[in-house]
Structure 1
Amino acid sequence: MTFLGLLLLPLLLSFLSSQALARKFDVGGRDGWVVKPYENYNHWAQRNRFQVNDTLHFKYIEGSDSVLAVKEEDYNSCNTNSPMEKMDDGDSIFHLNNSGPFFFISGSTQNCQNGQKLFIIVMAVRHHNPPPPTPVAPSSEAPSLPPQQIDPFSFSSPGPSPSNEPSSSTRFGGFSTSVGVGVWVILIFTSFIELV
């Protein structure tokens, strides 16, 4: 692998993982943030899974409406007087920076009362810890081997790892990838750069 390839490796891996983790949701789909969308906003929200670092995209006509992030009681009563955040540029992005419930209403009380409101729940961050080791009856057989050192640039598969070792697979947004796939992507990418 060339020096340029080694420099680009961390950048490419960072890009791939950030793209796989965060998603952008267009609120209301093609209708956007309107009074009477094709699908009720809360039905839309129930069909989706929101995670920390995802973003909500509210699209509407600037000057004719706005989006207010509010507390639950203001959501229920359509109170537009004390929002936690107001967005009114017509192309608003809201970053879901923590887990839990989020409440949004139109800046127009009448629009809110006619159903232009959204309630979502952002799932708690789950750390993918390896499962605890399975208890094994003591045996008089050979002692267990020390963990293997894996060279990420080698093309051969290592032998099976002991059951108490964490897996080399990592989950990104529902997809399972392994170190080997990342290495192949990088090798193909650097080969392409060398050809150009």
Structure 2
Amino acid sequence: MAYLRISILVLSLVFLSFAFSEAKEVIVGGKDISWNVDSSKTLNEWIQSKRFKVGDQLKWKSDKDSDSVLQVTKEDYGSCETSKPIKANVTEITLDQAGPFYFISGVKEHCDRGLKLVAIAKPPKHVSPSPAPATATGPAAPPSTNAAAGPGFGLSNGILGFAIGLVGMALI
């Protein structure tokens, strides 16, 4: 019986740790070759349901012969300016700070038709957010609305771990 109690307690601690340390690897659009001008509407609908945090990694799968992904400033995102990206030919990126990350098509005509995306990274719950440095090349302040917020998988694991822990404590 003591072994069962200890096992339940250890298991609950493991689930709780997932709530605070689980970084995600996400394929943008959720499928192969989703970065193309025909999928721009679908991509924007897809991002609306996503919630990212610092440390998550985004991966793009695109037809490299017909398009590319650029990380740009908020201003260049708005105007589809492709000549001075923060990063060019992005295939994967780790969201290394809280705030918005702006991505556009490397083909200006595709960006003008809507092939662009904003991913907003939330700070980890246990770390207080620090203001982003004011630079001309870094991401700008987040928009006033955050449509990308949604339930996080790590939080559900944390709640499950907490519930298992309560049951374990009741058995002790």
TM-score (norm 1): 0.54
User: Which residue number corresponds to residue 44 of structure 2?
Assistant: 42
Counterpart Cα distance in 2 of 1:25 and 1:110:
26
User: Structure 1 residues 24 and 39, CA, compared in 2 at 3 Å: closer, same or farther?
Assistant: farther
2:106 counterpart residue number: 107
The aligned amino acid for 2:71 is A
Where is the strand percentage greater, Structure 1 or Structure 2?
Answer: 1
- Could you tell me whether the CA contact under 8 Å between 1:96 and 1:122 is conserved in 2? yes
Greater Rg over alpha carbons, structure: 1
Residues paired across the two proteins, number: 123
- Structure 2 unaligned blocks of 5 or more: 1-13, 128-152, 166-172
Choose 65-74 or 41-50, whichever is displaced more: 41-50
What residue is the counterpart of 1:117 in the other structure?
A: 116
- Whether contact under 8 Å (1:66, 1:107) holds in the other structure is yes
Runs of 4+, deviation exceeding 3 Å: none
Q: Which has the higher helix share?
A: 2
Contact 1:36 1:115 in 2 (8 A): no
SS in 2 for 1:87: coil
Partner of 1:10: none
1:39 shift after superposition: 4.7
Give the 3 Å change call, closer, same or farther, for CA 39–78 of structure 1 in structure 2: closer
SS of structure 2 residue aligned to 1:28: helix
For the residues of structure 1 that align with 2:39 and 2:45, how far apart are their CA atoms? 11
TM-score (norm 2): 0.61
Structure with higher RCO (Cα < 8 A, 6+ apart): 2
